[in-house]
Amino acid sequence: MRQIVIIIASLLLISSVSAETLNARIEAGKPVRLGFANEKPWAYLDSDGKPTGLINDYTIDILNRMGINHIEPVFTEWGGLIPGLRAKRFDIITGGMYILSSRCQKIAFSEPIGRFRDAFIVPKGNPKDIHDYPDVVRESARLVTGVGYNMTNSARDAGLSESLIIQVPGPTEILSAVKEGRAEVGAVPYFTALYLAKQAPDSLSVSDPARATSQTRHYIGIGFRKEDNAFVELFDEAQAKYMGSQQMLERVKKYGYREAQYPDGIATSQLCQRQ
């Protein structure tokens, strides 16, 4: 009988934990856990182990405005962000994730925080004149990108052979593959491309996203579990007041974020319906 009671108590505890919303965690005094991969300049840990980067700084400012200061970072690989959020290993994805319909089926997003395009790191001078996915296909170039990145599907949709697509854990491996000649193109978000090219200025260049005529402009949002929609509404209210404020401008300008990246009025609900 005692064993049965223990089992029932354990099941009730598991059920309680699994049903816990983010609002309930906060009310209980528990930390809000930010989940992200180590991807500069979007989200990473500084030398003191504190969360920093464009999306972390942006999100933390908004949480502070909401009166939330108990925050913890949780580091994982990019491909583990959505599974980790759904498994409640952390509460918010701050990795700089594009709002895509395939992702909207699994998680909830805040309203967009900015609009961006993909870009490529290429050999110095961009000798094959690659600026868009059709250019990659034209040159039959080997393309490297990260596991779970939308760039894989973009390359496939453009018609690039599966044998020419290389998937690696993240930016460090993408940089190495292009530098070492194992790939001719590294596909990443534009800000990531700028950062990576700075690591090897004598050997790498960045494509011009303005010449990427086939690309849809992508919008980044903060990721939440679907059951935390009540919190997302509060976050969006705080974000609307933060967007374009002096505090925001001073916080994000060092990462290259400018007015050109401001959301242009499109709603997350509309982006989630895009195919």
Question: Residue ranges per domain, the chain?
Answer: 20-115+218-271, 118-211
Query: Which of 263, 260, 224, 229 has the alpha carbon at shortest distance from 243?
Result: 263
pLDDT value at position 217? 83
Q: Which CATH number fits domain 20-115+218-271: 3.40.640.10, 3.40.190.10, 3.30.930.10, 3.50.50.100?
A: 3.40.190.10
Alpha helix ranges (H) inside 140-274: 151-158, 171-179, 190-199, 229-242, 246-252, 268-271
CB 268 within 8 A of CB 98: no
Region 10-26: mean pLDDT is: 65
Contact 221, 113 (CB under 8 A): yes
pLDDT at 100: 94
- Going by pLDDT thresholds of 50, 70 and 90, the confidence category of residue 216 is confident
Q: Which CATH architecture has domain 118-211?
A: 3-Layer(aba) Sandwich (3.40)
Nearest-angstrom CA–CA distance, 179 and 175: 6
Contact 219, 111 (CB under 8 A): no
Q: Whole-prediction pTM value?
A: 0.82
- What mean pLDDT is predicted for residues 18-31? 91
Report strand pairing: 143-146 vs 185-189. parallel
User: Average pLDDT of 259-274?
Assistant: 91
Q: Beta strand 218-224 with 114-116: parallel, antiparallel or unpaired?
A: antiparallel
Tell me: cis bond preceding 41? Omega within 30 of 0 counts: yes
| Spatial distance between the Cα atoms of 254 and 256, rounded to a whole number of angstroms | 6
Please give the pLDDT value at position 119.
Answer: 95
Q: For residue 256, which amino acid is it?
A: G
pLDDT digits (tens, 9 = 90+) for 29-55: 999 999 999 888 999 999 999 999 999
Equal CATH topology for 20-115+218-271 and 118-211: yes
Write down the pLDDT at residue 260.
84
The CB density around residue 250, as the number of other CB atoms within 10 Å, is 10
Neighbour tally for 182: CB within 10 Å: 13
